Structure 1
Amino acid sequence: MRAASAAEEIDVTTTLKTVQVLKRVQISRSGTAPVMSRAALMLGLVTLALTACAPATDLRSVVAQNHPSEGHAYEGPLVITQGGTYRGNWQSLDPAVPAISIRTREPVVIENSYLRGRGNLIRGEWVNLTIRNTTGYGLNPLTDGLFPGRFMNVEKVLNLDVQNNTLIGTSGIYVNYFNGDSASGQTIKILKNKIKNVDGRYVDASGKLTGKRYNVQAIQFNAVRGVAGVEIAWNEITNEPEKSGVEENINMYVSSGTPQSSIQIHNNFIDGAYGVNPRKDRGYSGGGIMLGDGSGNDLALSGGYVDVYDNQVVRTSNQGIAIAGGHHQRVYGNRIVSSGRLPSGEINPSANVGIYVWNNQADAQKLSPTFFNNSVFNNLIGWARFDASGKQYYNNLWTPSCLEAAGNVCKDNQAWPVAVSQDSEREELARWKSKMSQARVSVGVDAARVLAHSAN
């Protein structure tokens, strides 16, 4: 099957058993994200018959250990123009064309599906969207100056529910603006997803890495302001050195909850954040969770009302959790640990600090009209790094902007009870698995559910 040309996509709109193929103007792959300072079927009626395609061979597979070409027949690209529930396997081998484009404000459910593409896998504006039990693979774009596309790139969201998906080698989940009605229960939920190797590394036309990257995140909010009921929880995010290129894993860029309903970021497991060349990159600025990113001097536009608790953040290089701007943000009850080494055992030259509180939009030790009422307390931190002589030391906290006069409080944080080693990091993964078992939570795609659906 050939990829859609620059001026054509496949528009599949299924009503009962009618499938139409229409020409459409392509949707641009790019969103409106700034460079961050540090981000068909009607239910039960029809099943699309999938046509086997012979996919192009990547010069460099993003996920060579589990190549998405195996075991699935793909159609697409797909353009959704009316609400309904969609199940199938869709692809786009053109980085400018999403595997799925959503062009309706009606409720859309994508479930039990496989997606792959050289650009964005799911793209839409003004969406009322649920994505569940779906696997997405980011492919090498094979285009000079591009990086793998996002699993989901949505803007002006009306309602969003993203649960139990598996993302491999994509550039993550991106949400730009919320235009729904919180009072009626519309909100954003990103729950129980398994996200592996978030990749913003640029390639050239032959698919080879250029040594540069774009700032992408596993989960990125951009200007999602004043939204009640938002929850980012029970996600498992892992990044491997030299197989990924992420900035922060979770980033709240000028985004906020409400005074009555803070954004809830809790019970996530985050392991790893690395630059393009992790053995040499001392200037890498990424990490685990970033709050208040991009907040300036306008209170109406700054980030705020976010709670971060009960997360496990492991070896995310520059920082574990950071408050870089904003107000009414609480960080508590988290486990934050790093041995200061790469998984290979080599020293990580960009290992820096467990938690920092630093207003990066102003003088760190002066009062600011947008940086106040933030708190960091009761976290367990063991963040090791190495000096020039190779001696290990700990840098658990750096809080120059934790000024009591502004209502900022940093207290009762505990140092890791034993010397931090790579065993400490591995023990956190075991703890995470036990925690999920006790809570009866399962992350990522339920393969049995997909197989059961395929058999019907």
Structure 2
Amino acid sequence: MNPAMAQAPNVTYSGPLVITQGGTYTGNYRSTDSNVPVITIQTTQPVVIENCVLAGAGDLIDAKNGGDNLIVRNNKGYGLAQSADNTRHGRFLEANSAKSIVIEHNYFEHTTGIDIYQWGGNGTASQTLTIRYNQSKNLDGRYRNGGGTYCNFLGMNGALGLVGAEIAWNEVLNEPNQSLVEDNINFYNSSGTSGSPLKLHDNYVQGAYPYPATGSSYTGSGITIDGDAQSASGATAFINGYNNQLVSTCAAMNIASGHDNHYYNNRMVTCGLLPDGSKMPAGYAAAGLWNAYQQSGSVFFNNDMTNNFIGFFYQGGNTPYTNRQDTSPGACPTCTSTTHIPDRPLTLADEQAEWTLWQQKLSQNGITLGVGGTSGGGGTTTPTTPSAPTVSLSVPSTGTVGTALNMTATAASTNGTITTVEFFNGATKIGEDLTAPYSFSYTPTAAGTLSLTARATNNAGAATSTAVSSVTVTAPTTTTPPTTGTGTTPTNATFVRAINVGGTATTIDGLSFEDGNSAANFQINGSPFSNQSVTLNPATDAARAAMIRASVYDPNISAAVSGVASGTYSVYLYMWEDNNPVTLNITLEGQTVQSNYSSGSAGHWDRLGPFTANVTDGTINIGTVSSNNNNLSGIEIWKQNSGTTTPTTPSAPTVSLSAPSTGTVGTALNLTASAASTNGTITKVEFFNGVTKLGEDLTAPYTFSYTPTTAGTLSLTARATNNAAVATTSAAVSVTVTAPTTTTPPTTTAPTFVRAVNLGGGAITLDGNSWAASSGAANFRATGLTAFSNQNVTLTPTTDATRASMIRSSMYGSSTGLALSGVTSGTYSVYLYVWEDNNAETFNISLEGKTVLSGYNSGSAGHWDRLGPFTANVTDGTVNVGTTGGMANISGIELWKQATPLP
């Protein structure tokens, strides 16, 4: 059972209420059945629920089939113990396709919060969502029989295009071991509008813990912008989050998808201690901004975090101080102007100071939260409409191509506040600033005359633009280091190698660029990213463009190319800009070879060099130094010849292949090639099955591990290529691949089917046996797993439609657990369905805490296995299965009981 919960008030309750017509409803209502809401609204007429006490084992207010126009105010809500296992506490309110909802001055505890799904309003401010002045305590996703599900104070899903929406002045307090919450506030495929962003401000959120609170699993954040939409119109967008306080959370504020979302002037403080002073093991980072759903540049853009106050403990972190992770490493490129708590141990006093500040804010604004509270001075007077803003722009009269222009605007609004100041060149918007002082740095890319203006918008939506400021831009008087043209090579030099830092192997200017993720004798720091939707300037061929736009970024990139013979080398670097201009220095062998290089505006790229390196230690070291992230895409290395003697043409390579004569489906084959080239060097050895390339190795000893997915005969060869591009293919080696031994339970033990669970899908019948859906399955729990489905992958081997659908709807994770409880004592056979949807992963499988399969390789995309039988002797009523290591896709689990114990 859950630990004790706060008791609902001892008042006289009526039974559950069903509202079938509009009106105002007041009273005390209760339901002790998890399947029966306390109040059910079944009318689209306007409904007001106020001054109620609500207590329920399920949802308190169910507006899924009504409640189009709903006001909920001055109510108290209490979650009672559930009436069934594997059942969550109820929502305080759940609405579907509503048109107008106001939720103000309520108090609720031990619920799973507010859920707003889709939106049916008419796109005006009269039909919007307002959630203000509420108090919530212990958001609670726990089941009564152990385990649970995640919940939110506010979860919005599919609520798009809300005008005038506001979530403000709410207080959310979650206590360790009394709550289980994911993101306290989550926006999923939900949005405001460009003219009326959703205002998310002045909320206080404290507590986002796993259960138990001493667990190490990172679970909950304060506020997250989320969603998997693949179009800008359906994405989470136009959300302004400001003046919020996030305290003692596993993470604080994330932007993981969408566009035009802005976090600014927020406070995020987590000291890493529970209230009793013990350690809080779970956690990651305060601020994170990354494209979690790999949305295109037309969907994920114009998001930022700026001017936030952060102090976030994370054991082993180093951002910006030891054991701190104020921003997510490599996932917060536009987190700027952050004020960090100084480098010192964070304490519970730091968190207490946030609570004190929150109380001061409420007092200064005349706000009392919860039931019977006041909303700023206690009145509801309509505020005076703000006057149109005033705005002026200051900018230099002249500028230079490639040098930043600093633009500053002064803006004000009588009886109102400035929400944004945008900067324009003619009709083209070039940037914006949401907080004073309003400024923007713009780097012109071409000579000519700019027509710059600033436009200020206030909280009433009124906007004013400045007069045009003309700026004459001239070409620079000095050039950057030589930006060589396509195909240009250094004089009297021999090509050594080139690396596509952020992408796959490719050919550019007739030169082979290696895959930066697997290139031998190559190391680089920084975070990989790709944005193939940016238009490059200058334009270039497709192969070069793809290479440029796949890169790594970091303020201080450090790359090392080893295995280099002593000599003098010419080095070229491909660099580009996907966002805003960055100024940096470039170093080679520890010496600065280019100072104050500007990356230019979005899309600009350069092939910089040649820079000269004298190598005596076998390694070429390349670096960038900057205060902001810069992007490195490609590296070319040429060795300067000592004379003009024409080198001897290398002879054709010799190559032979060694491989086992037999193999098994799902078990790796180790291939080894020997290769040499007289008067030359081997640049690569490729491995083939027939005409299909399996892989390659660039350095001796030349090896490759290949896992066959079907039975049959392989015809394997190795092809060696030297530095003169001459190639030789080895003789073919035949390998006979057989199917693995059968996994059917031994018939001699007369196994009896007990149960099976379809982890990622619904209930099915397979092989004549009934499989339960994991969602809601009794006596079943999955941990460390995330559900996903990809029904477009072709499976190997082929199978029937029902099994294929089950396999391709699964759960994935790198450290997972499955528990089947309610099992009588005895000996059981366990089977797991696993599959691969993209790249091979290697992981281990355990049963009852003991490893039963080590180093399992999932194979290439589409490969699947029914693994087992694995034997479990159960005495405690539960079968526990787990995986560790690589990312495992688990589709189904089967449990069979043996009539007699297996050895």
TM-score (norm 2): 0.40
Which of 263, 278, 288 pairs up with 1:346?
A: 278
Aligned to 1:387: 316
Query: Does 1:414 pair with 2:347?
Result: no
Which of 242, 267, 271 pairs up with 2:177?
A: 242
1:126 positional shift: 3.9
After TM superposition, the structure 1 = structure 2 runs for residues 204-283 of structure 1, keeping only pairs within 5 Å, are: 204=145, 210=146, 212-280=147-215, 282-283=216-217
Partner-residue secondary structure (3-state), 1:436: helix
Residues 243-294 of structure 1: CA deviation (Å, up to 9, x unaligned): 00000100001111101011111000000001112212x2223110001x12
1:60 positional shift: 5.5
Letter in 2 for 1:82: Q
Residues 110-139 of structure 1: CA deviation (Å, up to 9, x unaligned): 111100100000001342100000000011
Larger mean CA deviation between 343-352 and 420-429 belongs to 343-352
1:352 positional shift: 1.4
Which of 298, 303, 306 pairs up with 1:377?
A: 306
Contact 2:112/2:153 (8 A) holds in 1 = yes
Contact 1:357/1:399 (8 A) holds in 2 = no
1:142 positional shift: 3.0
Letter in 2 for 1:398: S
In the aligned structure 1, how far is the partner of 2:284 from the partner of 2:72? Answer: 36
Aligned to 2:849: none
1:94 positional shift: 0.9
Aligned to 1:83: 22
Aligned to 1:335: 267
1:214 positional shift: 1.2
Residues 447, 61 of structure 1: alpha-carbon distance in 2 compared, 3 angstrom cutoff = farther
After TM superposition, the structure 1 = structure 2 runs for residues 390-405 of structure 1, keeping only pairs within 5 Å, are: 393-398=323-328, 400-401=330-331
Query: Does 1:103 pair with 2:42?
Result: yes
Aligned to 1:310: 243
Partner-residue secondary structure (3-state), 1:353: coil
Work out which of the two has the higher radius of gyration on C-alpha atoms and give 1 or 2. 2
Residues 184, 194 of structure 1: alpha-carbon distance in 2 compared, 3 angstrom cutoff = closer
Residues 401-440 of structure 1: CA deviation (Å, up to 9, x unaligned): 556xxxxx33111102474211000111111111100000
1:302 positional shift: 1.4
In the aligned structure 2, how far is the partner of 1:399 from the partner of 1:174? Answer: 32
After TM superposition, the structure 1 = structure 2 runs for residues 37-48 of structure 1, keeping only pairs within 5 Å, are: none
1:184 positional shift: 5.8
1:295 positional shift: 2.6
Aligned to 2:356: 430
* Higher relative contact order, structure no. (Cα contacts within 8 Å, ≥ 6 residues apart): 1
Which of 172, 175, 186 pairs up with 2:113?
A: 172
Larger mean CA deviation between 178-187 and 153-162 belongs to 178-187
After TM superposition, the structure 1 = structure 2 runs for residues 184-195 of structure 1, keeping only pairs within 5 Å, are: 185-195=126-136
Contact 1:219/1:250 (8 A) holds in 2 = yes
In the aligned structure 2, how far is the partner of 1:135 from the partner of 1:349? Answer: 34
Aligned to 1:321: 253
1:213 positional shift: 2.0
Contact 1:91/1:117 (8 A) holds in 2 = yes
Partner-residue secondary structure (3-state), 1:202: coil
Which of 129, 144, 152 pairs up with 1:203?
A: 144
Letter in 2 for 1:356: G
Contact 1:268/1:312 (8 A) holds in 2 = yes
Letter in 1 for 2:92: F
Contact 2:105/2:373 (8 A) holds in 1 = no
Query: Does 1:300 pair with 2:233?
Result: yes
Query: Does 1:74 pair with 2:7?
Result: no
After TM superposition, the structure 1 = structure 2 runs for residues 10-21 of structure 1, keeping only pairs within 5 Å, are: none
Aligned to 2:60: 121
Contact 1:62/1:169 (8 A) holds in 2 = no
Contact 1:310/1:335 (8 A) holds in 2 = yes
Contact 2:183/2:223 (8 A) holds in 1 = yes
Partner-residue secondary structure (3-state), 1:385: coil
In the aligned structure 2, how far is the partner of 1:334 from the partner of 1:447? Answer: 24
In the aligned structure 2, how far is the partner of 1:191 from the partner of 1:400? Answer: 35
Letter in 1 for 2:62: R
After TM superposition, the structure 1 = structure 2 runs for residues 132-171 of structure 1, keeping only pairs within 5 Å, are: 132-171=73-112
Residues 30-49 of structure 1: CA deviation (Å, up to 9, x unaligned): xxxxxxxxxxxxxxxxxxxx
Aligned to 1:9: none
Identity %: 36
1:300 positional shift: 2.6
Residues 400, 226 of structure 1: alpha-carbon distance in 2 compared, 3 angstrom cutoff = farther
Contact 1:140/1:147 (8 A) holds in 2 = no
1:392 positional shift: 6.3
Residues 350-401 of structure 1: CA deviation (Å, up to 9, x unaligned): 12111001211129xxx6332100011000000012239xx96111012635
In the aligned structure 1, how far is the partner of 2:359 from the partner of 2:125? Answer: 35
Letter in 1 for 2:355: L
* Dislocated runs of 4+, deviation >4 Å: 59-62
In the aligned structure 2, how far is the partner of 1:141 from the partner of 1:62? Answer: 13
Contact 2:32/2:83 (8 A) holds in 1 = no
Aligned to 2:220: 286
Contact 1:126/1:179 (8 A) holds in 2 = no
Aligned to 1:53: none
Letter in 2 for 1:303: T
Contact 1:295/1:370 (8 A) holds in 2 = no
TM-score (norm 1): 0.77
Query: Does 1:362 pair with 2:294?
Result: yes
Partner-residue secondary structure (3-state), 2:193: coil
Aligned to 2:779: none
Larger mean CA deviation between 392-401 and 263-272 belongs to 392-401
In the aligned structure 2, how far is the partner of 1:104 from the partner of 1:249? Answer: 30
Which structure has the highest strand share of the two? 2
Residues 359, 135 of structure 1: alpha-carbon distance in 2 compared, 3 angstrom cutoff = same
Residues 206-251 of structure 1: CA deviation (Å, up to 9, x unaligned): xxxx1x2212101111110111111000000000111000001000
Query: Does 1:439 pair with 2:365?
Result: yes
Residues 40-86 of structure 1: CA deviation (Å, up to 9, x unaligned): xxxxxxxxxxxxxxxxxxx767633xx11x43110020001111111
1:299 positional shift: 2.3
Residues 122, 278 of structure 1: alpha-carbon distance in 2 compared, 3 angstrom cutoff = same
Letter in 2 for 1:259: S
Contact 2:270/2:313 (8 A) holds in 1 = yes
1:92 positional shift: 0.7
In the aligned structure 1, how far is the partner of 2:42 from the partner of 2:329? Answer: 45
Letter in 1 for 2:152: Q
Instruction: Please tell me the root mean square deviation across aligned C-alpha atoms, in Å.
Output: 2.0
Query: Does 1:63 pair with 2:5?
Result: yes
Residues 301-332 of structure 1: CA deviation (Å, up to 9, x unaligned): 21111000001110111x11000111100000
In the aligned structure 1, how far is the partner of 2:352 from the partner of 2:237? Answer: 33
In the aligned structure 2, how far is the partner of 1:354 from the partner of 1:372? Answer: 21
